[in-house]
Amino acid sequence: MNTSFLRADEPTRRDFVMNIAKTCLGVTVMHPLLRNQANAVAFEGSSKARQVATARNVIYLYMAGGMTHLDTFGVSPGSETMGDTQCIPTSADGIQLGAGLPTVAKHMHHGAIINSLSSTQGAHEQGNYYQHTGYTMRGATRHPTMGAWLQKFQGKGNPDLPGTVVISNDSKHPGGGFFEAAFQPLVLNNPATGLQHSQRLASLKESDLDYRLGLSAKLNSGFEQAYPQSAVRAYSDVYRDAVKVMKSADLAAFDLNEEPDALQEEYGSNTFGQGCLLARRLVEHGVRFVEVTSGGWDMHNDIYARLPEKISELDKALGALLGDLERRGLLQDTLVVVSTEFGRTPNINQNSGRDHYPKAYSSALWGGGIQGGQIYGKADRGIEVTENKVSPPDLNATIAYALGLPLDQVLYSPTKRPFTIADKGQPITALFG
Amino acid sequence: MKALALLFLTATAAAALGAALPEATKIDSLLAADWQKHNLQANPPASDEVLVRRLYLDIAGRIPTVEESREFIQSGDPQKRAKLIDRLLASDGYTSHMFNFWADVLRLTDNAKGKITAEAYEEWLKKELKANTPYDQFVKKLLTTEGGAWDSGSIGFYQRDENKLDHLAYTVQVFLGTSIVCAQCHNHPFDKWSQMDYYSMAAFTYGMDTRGNGVNEIKLPKRQQGKAVPAALANMTPKQRRQWMKDHPEEAAKMRKEAGENGNISNQEMQQVRKALGDVMKPLRYTAINWNEGKLPKLPDDYKYSDGKPGETVGPRAMFGHDAAPKEGQTTVQAFADWMTSPDNPRFTTVIANRMWKHVFGMGVIEPLDEMTDSTVASNPALMDYLAQLMIEKRYSLKSFLRVLYNTETYQRMAGTQEIALGEVSRFTGPMLRRMSAEQIWDSMITLTKGNVDAEVDDDNVRLHQYLQDLSMFINTMKEKGPEGIVAAAKEGMAQRQENDRKLDAMRAEIAEKGGASTPAQAKVLANAANRLRREASNNLLVSLIGEDRAEDLIRGYNPNRQMQKQRPKLDRASLAGMTKEQRKAMIQASSNTTMVSRASELPSPARPGHFLRTFGQSDRELIDNANDDASVPQALTLLNGPLIQNLASPASKLSQQLDKAGSSDQKLALVYEALLSRRPTNNERAVLSQVAHERGDKAVEDVMHALITGSQFLFIQ
């Protein structure tokens, strides 16, 4: 969905529907109805909690497929559910991690682990959607993800760059949901390729391209005069903006070649590692919400043969990112989140793997106002949450809370249905200092 | 403006020719009466040049080739417009274009569980469109479909949505133009629908089980029958029983042991067999649906209205119109399909007539077309009534219906020059100016580089059917084999798995010995080994279950695009590292999403985010009718800097080859106009073009080509 950022002010189908609603239903009809029914009933439980933002940016690292909690952040030292995984101490007193995360372990004094996540969705697509939006998947509505809510309430960090960038091969990302096109994230499949088509063709000189742009305007003028419509005018506007983008200094935000080789190496020579490096560059240039996906965590078979590859990618990239952000003074206003759709079964199955386990799983957060060195919630041997249960809406509400977003403000979808951030999730205020 | 006036003059003469269809005349007169009432003038008639481009785009989904537009424009046949309409309606271009249209309405996606079913559904849709199956029968086929993907691809209709309640809301919105989705959770706030109405409607299709897969169809041995349940457990609910087992671990273990010894196959073994079969049976997942008569939805736990209780079962009841009770020998869903598609259904016919009108003229007589309520009034009620009547007269043949619309004098007028403000209605003094859909743009680019490739539309995918047959055979063989045979084979498979586990453990031990933590490279080798061993194990099991030949067919799988993927250069870091920055960029761009091979309808559906089609607004197929035609900066960047212009100018492109044969530079530039805009340049334009030729010499042709491609004129259908 990278069709969208910097879009001309065009009425979309959604606006159109909204407008029809206004003309056909009339504001006077709509409001009392909403007040009496949907509105009052649906939002009784929304959290009123709000704080001055402790985070300006979010780097959201998504472990697609269901990251095993027991082998990573939700360890249970000495328990039979640990499989082959050993625990290691970290820079924070009393916090241990799976042995595959030695680099991340050095940063746990800045981080908090949530060990009491519990979801109702045990299938990938549904779980992924729930984790990303705080809403369960329902027909005919696409709910926005956090980057879109952030842009909606607080605007973009850099007007010349997209509000949200998603570095992922997941083509089902809910993105901006029902919000207008301008709130859709820019999706990059490959962090190395940068922003598509933002550079002049190698075979063209700048003067050639300028000539063609001038000629195009000249040859198109008759058509534009004959059809003085906004949809036609919008194209003149986007060409003007496109040229602006091509000349913008912010394009460098997408160029990993500007990073020293050693640092590229430190993040790891794989899509996820380079994606994390790109995330840091984008945040520096004013993109406020960046998501990087790491796929392949769905380990139903031979988990201890598969895990080393994934976990070392995560360890290198996340460790490098946290160190890099800290060195640059960015960690204090950048919230880094590790998230996934569910955990994996405490039992090792017949195929030496772990299956889907939404009942108890883990997530971890660093920076952006998080009080480091704490574990929130408990899950007995990774099996059952015994203290401070956290739902995906709660986790979303926590991220929104860090960003200072209003959790109880109602916005309407084009189908005239009311929604709030995180579907009445309650922020975990205890995570903040 | 002078240029346009000239075009109008030639057009008037053309429009006077030819005898109109009586139905088309009727529509024209209904419109004329409306114009008179609102004091409006008809738009001027469209010229042959404008019309040939519009007809090709509207019906075949692409611009005409130079030969096609010349043939039409130069023809003196008074019937040439009607003849072209008929020819295009009969072409494969129509199938391709309408596929894109319906794929958006029906949310066809192969980015879903059950890719093979999704592909079969796509192919099925093309076949139905090509055969011009009457719309009412088409809908009936969708609603009453059942069985495996090898029986009919139409099962993709139900397989599309896991949640049957959601699926019903989509069904009602698409076919009845009515939005009831709000009523899934509470009474509709703006319309009359109650939550009970919703559940009563959902009850019609609720019995369609889409979770069915091969594994369920194959009978595996059940636990030993007649096993004595200990007295302590006899009267407990399953939940209580589980709790009891938990509280009394020793007794429970003893009971399990006894149960294992009693049967031939212990529970644990059975579980292992299922696991082992899981991999093997994977290709069968999401390939079949089954109807369960009498399976009904229950009201949700938070049901809060007085007409029902939480958890209560709800039976089917039609939301409007006549009753939908099953006739003798009919299932509930068959009765539902009859009710839905009956000409007496108050909305079914109106919705499709309006949808087709919007497809042709750019706006519905009723807007929005999928949120009808009792108080909805058409902008021209007499026209809407007649269109519904016409749809019934044409027995729901969409081609016949469209043929009438394209033959109206009104369609063959110039597009309205003035914008219709949001929320206002069109009086249809001509069609609306529309931006091409993403697919029309893509297919037009293909036409420029490759010419007419309509015939490549694949409505009969031989490889797909082979594979589906393989799947069907697989199920049947497994059924014949019977429980004992399957278990025996699966046990063998388990042995191999255990052997594999030992191999992997050995590898891990070796890595650990060499210094503890593994390097990324070692980790990768280990993960790959795990993948390979697992694949081998499941392949071996498959061979022992169904024999080598059939197993091989299945293992090869369905992958028609494998060839195409290989053509793309592989981007590995090592070779990238050796390049300059510019080389690297060029290389990446060349392999990017703009490789032009076939029409949009033949590509993955929908295209991946970032693909040319998605950049230009192709629907993600998550919501009904979700394509958009908004301008965006990435579109401008794609046309300015993407490899497209290089493709057009490359010696391999059809346009380049034609340009080579053209004589003077003036002739070449005129040919560019004909290829892109289906007309020759006006006098004013010619003056600009000769100046370009003078200033730019050899570069002139590519300059003009690029200038026209990046002008909005190219992207709009006048």
> HEC string of B227-265?
CCCCHHHHCCCHHHHHHHHHHCHHHHHHHHHHHHHHCCC
Helix (H) or strand (E) holding A229: none
Using pLDDT thresholds of 50, 70 and 90, give the confidence band for residue B395. very high
* Per-residue confidence (pLDDT) for residue A48, from 0 to 100: 82
Mean pLDDT throughout B688-713? 96
Q: How far apart are CA A161 and CA B706, in angstroms?
A: 27
Mean pLDDT throughout B48-56? 98
CB contact at 8 A, B665 and B700: yes
| Chain centroid offset of residue A280 CA | 14
Bigger pLDDT: B579 vs B645: B645
Q: How far apart are CA B550 and CA B555, in angstroms?
A: 9
Using pLDDT thresholds of 50, 70 and 90, give the confidence band for residue B561. low
Q: How far apart are CA B104 and CA A68, in angstroms?
A: 37
CB contact at 8 A, B215 and B281: yes
| Chain centroid offset of residue A262 CA | 27
| Nearest-neighbour CA in chain B from A65: distance (Å) | 14
Nearest to B641 among A34, A198, A219 (CB): A198
Cβ neighbours of A99 in B, within 8 Å? 517
Question: B633 and A172: CB-CB below 8 Å?
Answer: no
Q: How far apart are CA A249 and CA B702, in angstroms?
A: 29
| Nearest-neighbour CA in chain B from A36: distance (Å) | 9
Question: A219 and B526: CB-CB below 8 Å?
Answer: no
* Per-residue confidence (pLDDT) for residue B518, from 0 to 100: 64
For residue A212, what are its two tokens?
A: 């063609």
Q: What number of other Cβ atoms are within 10 A of residue B219's Cβ?
A: 11
Q: What are the two backbone dihedrals, phi and then psi, of residue A112, each rounded to the nearest 5 degrees?
A: -125, 140
Using pLDDT thresholds of 50, 70 and 90, give the confidence band for residue A32. very low
Q: How far apart are CA B591 and CA B595, in angstroms?
A: 7
Question: B716 and A198: CB-CB below 8 Å?
Answer: no
- Taking CA atoms, B13 is separated from A364, B5, B18, B489, in Å, by 74, 13, 11, 79
Nearest to A302 among B504, B623, B707 (CB): B504
3-state secondary structure (DSSP) of residue A312: helix
Computed on alpha carbons and rounded to an integer, the radius of gyration of chain B in Å comes to 31
Computed on alpha carbons and rounded to an integer, the radius of gyration of chain A in Å comes to 23
Question: B179 and A351: CB-CB below 8 Å?
Answer: no
Cβ neighbours of A254 in B, within 8 Å? none
Question: A246 and B637: CB-CB below 8 Å?
Answer: yes
Nearest to B632 among A7, A15, A102 (CB): A7
Question: A125 and B614: CB-CB below 8 Å?
Answer: no
3-state secondary structure (DSSP) of residue A111: strand
For residue B61, what are its two tokens?
A: 């989904």
* Per-residue confidence (pLDDT) for residue A218, from 0 to 100: 96
Q: How far apart are CA B350 and CA B364, in angstroms?
A: 11
Those residues with Cβ within 8 angstroms of residue A273's Cβ, 6 or more apart along the chain or in another chain: A267, A313, A316, A317, A320
Q: How far apart are CA B647 and CA B449, in angstroms?
A: 7
Nearest to A245 among B189, B615, B637 (CB): B637
Q: For residue A239, give the amino acid letter.
A: Y
B 106-145 residues with CB below 8 A of A?
111, 113
Those residues with Cβ within 8 angstroms of residue B612's Cβ, 6 or more apart along the chain or in another chain: B438, B442, B593, B594, B638, B642, B644
Cβ neighbours of A4 in B, within 8 Å? 632, 634
Whether chain A has a CB inside 8 Å of the CB on B309: the answer is no
3-state secondary structure (DSSP) of residue B169: helix
* Per-residue confidence (pLDDT) for residue B516, from 0 to 100: 56
Whether chain A has a CB inside 8 Å of the CB on B603: the answer is no
B625: nearest CA partner in chain A: A13
Question: B632 and A226: CB-CB below 8 Å?
Answer: no
Q: What is the pLDDT of residues B230-283, one digit of tens each?
A: 666 767 777 777 777 777 777 777 766 665 555 455 666 676 777 777 778 888
Most confident of A233-242, B12-21, B221-230, B409-418: B409-418
Whether chain A has a CB inside 8 Å of the CB on B630: the answer is yes
For residue B683, what are its two tokens?
A: 């006098």
Quick check: A331 pLDDT over 90?
yes
Using pLDDT thresholds of 50, 70 and 90, give the confidence band for residue B580. low
Residue entry with tokens 């390049």: B579
Return the closest-CA partner of residue B365 out of B375, B347, B378.
Answer: B378
Q: What is the pLDDT of residues A274-313, one digit of tens each?
A: 999 999 999 999 999 999 999 999 998 889 999 999 999 9
Return the closest-CA partner of residue A318 out of A108, A133, A140.
Answer: A108
Whether chain A has a CB inside 8 Å of the CB on B587: the answer is no
B417: nearest CA partner in chain A: A227
Going along B417-551, which residue ranges are E strands? 434-435
| Nearest-neighbour CA in chain B from A430: distance (Å) | 32
What sign for the dihedral angle of Cα B72, B75, B78, B80? negative
CB contact at 8 A, A127 and A341: yes
Residue entry with tokens 């529970």: B267
Using pLDDT thresholds of 50, 70 and 90, give the confidence band for residue B189. confident
Using pLDDT thresholds of 50, 70 and 90, give the confidence band for residue B222. low
Question: A181 and B630: CB-CB below 8 Å?
Answer: yes
| Nearest-neighbour CA in chain B from A173: distance (Å) | 10
Cβ neighbours of B494 in A, within 8 Å? 350
* Per-residue confidence (pLDDT) for residue A37, from 0 to 100: 36
Using pLDDT thresholds of 50, 70 and 90, give the confidence band for residue A31. very low
Using pLDDT thresholds of 50, 70 and 90, give the confidence band for residue B3. very low
Q: How far apart are CA B420 and CA A11, in angstroms?
A: 12
CB contact at 8 A, A92 and A305: no
Residue A337's DSSP bridge partners are A60, A365
Nearest to A189 among B494, B610, B707 (CB): B610
Return the closest-CA partner of residue B153 out of B36, B267, B287, B25.
Answer: B287
Q: What number of other Cβ atoms are within 10 A of residue A151's Cβ?
A: 24
Checking DSSP bridges between strand A186-188 and strand B434-435, what pairing results, if any? unpaired
Q: What is the pLDDT of residues A129-173, one digit of tens each?
A: 999 999 998 766 889 999 999 999 999 998 888 899 999 877 778
Tell me, yes or no, if the pTM score tops 0.95: no
Question: A228 and B419: CB-CB below 8 Å?
Answer: yes
| Nearest-neighbour CA in chain A from B505: distance (Å) | 8
Q: What number of other Cβ atoms are within 10 A of residue B685's Cβ?
A: 20
CB contact at 8 A, B145 and B152: yes
* Per-residue confidence (pLDDT) for residue B280, from 0 to 100: 81
Q: How far apart are CA B454 and CA A247, in angstroms?
A: 40
Q: What are the two backbone dihedrals, phi and then psi, of residue A335, each rounded to the nearest 5 degrees?
A: -90, 120
Nearest to B623 among A142, A208, A349 (CB): A142
Mean pLDDT throughout A5-32? 37
Whether chain A has a CB inside 8 Å of the CB on B491: the answer is no
Q: What are the two backbone dihedrals, phi and then psi, of residue B603, each rounded to the nearest 5 degrees?
A: -95, 170
Cβ neighbours of A8 in B, within 8 Å? 630-632
- Taking CA atoms, B632 is separated from A367, B362, B445, in Å, by 35, 21, 19
| Nearest-neighbour CA in chain B from A405: distance (Å) | 27
For residue B209, what are its two tokens?
A: 């089980």
Residue entry with tokens 């063709």: A201
Question: A308 and B526: CB-CB below 8 Å?
Answer: yes
Question: B186 and A238: CB-CB below 8 Å?
Answer: no
* Per-residue confidence (pLDDT) for residue B515, from 0 to 100: 61
Whether chain A has a CB inside 8 Å of the CB on B694: the answer is no
Using pLDDT thresholds of 50, 70 and 90, give the confidence band for residue B520. confident
* Per-residue confidence (pLDDT) for residue A20, from 0 to 100: 38
Return the closest-CA partner of residue A133 out of A424, A421, A428, A427.
Answer: A421
Return the closest-CA partner of residue B120 out of B628, B610, B580, B463.
Answer: B463
Whether chain A has a CB inside 8 Å of the CB on B442: the answer is no
Nearest to A11 among B422, B523, B608 (CB): B422
CB contact at 8 A, A115 and A74: yes
Q: How far apart are CA A244 and CA B29, in angstroms?
A: 50
Question: A238 and B633: CB-CB below 8 Å?
Answer: yes
Whether chain A has a CB inside 8 Å of the CB on B610: the answer is yes
CB contact at 8 A, B120 and B458: no
Question: B716 and A268: CB-CB below 8 Å?
Answer: no
For residue B218, what are its two tokens?
A: 């194959």
Cβ neighbours of B179 in A, within 8 Å? 140, 415
Q: Count of CB contacts below 8 A, A vs B?
A: 296
Q: How far apart are CA A385 and CA A74, in angstroms?
A: 11
